[in-house]
Amino acid sequence: MAIEKSERILVLPGDKLDHTLIPSHPKKALRLGPGLRHIPPNELVPTVAGQLVTDHRKNSIWIEYNGGRYVPTVGDLVIGTVHHSATDYFYVQLSGYTSNAVLPQLAFEMATKKTRPNLSPGSLVYARVSLANRHMDPELECVSPTTGKAEGLGPLNEGMVFEVSLGMARRLLMRKSVEEGKVVVLEELGAAGLAFETAVGRNGKVWVNSEKTKVVLAVGRAVKETDEKNLSIEQQKKLVRRLIKELN
């Protein structure tokens, strides 16, 4: 069966996109991802240099880039570090390039003024960007606005955080798709018998936790090496075999 691949075209900030490059779907609304700004009524302008990627099946479009600066976008899953707290908010750092994001203390599952989490400076949280624009600090949430459930979001206890490129973060978040540059290293490690859990932030952070510290380090090493060396699927499998041999 033939697989439809996404189109990839190099663009620069401020480029005018030909309307033929923008996907359309009779039933699905266009999903605008990172690196693009909508200028009413119907113009899309890149805000970063990178590859323009379109997915016609999901009716989505975004810019793939590996630059070090993360720009918060509504809907992004991110890993942040609590910097400090105030009466109603936690102030969370997403990267060294952005100001603190705000996380309402009641934006957690079943949170009330009596049961809200007590996050000290340095605590890690897995959150979704709920508000982002040029004129305000980004706002985060650790609960689904539709179900009221955490759905995997919230404080990240123990474990370690590893830094990866923004492109690698997106690849990890989309690893079950048929995108070019597919990442299989985490699935391969799990299939080899390693027990661990992960969370991936679109801001270039990967959290890894396991009962065994050596497993945490091995998983982090595998992800970073896959990113830095841009390993193919076969190279990722070879890396996993080597790491498993070292652990045993």
Model confidence pLDDT, tens digit, residues 82-93: 999 998 999 999
C-alpha span between 156 and 119 (Å, rounded): 10
C-alpha span between 187 and 199 (Å, rounded): 14
Give the start-to-end residue ranges of the domains of the chain.
7-64, 77-157, 161-247
- Answer yes or no: CATH 2.40.30.60 is held by domain 77-157: no
pLDDT in tens, 93-108: 998 766 789 999 999 9
pLDDT in tens, 31-80: 887 788 888 887 888 887 877 888 777 788 888 766 667 888 889 999 99
Average pLDDT over residues 153-178: 85
pLDDT confidence tier of residue 123, bands split at 50, 70 and 90? very high
The reply to whether 77-157 and 161-247 are identical in fold is: no
Q: Which fold has domain 7-64?
A: OB fold (Dihydrolipoamide Acetyltransferase, E2P) (2.40.50)
Q: What is the pLDDT of residue 55?
A: 76
CATH fourth-level superfamily of 161-247: K Homology domain, type 1 (3.30.1370.10)
Whole-number percent of the chain with pLDDT over 70:
91
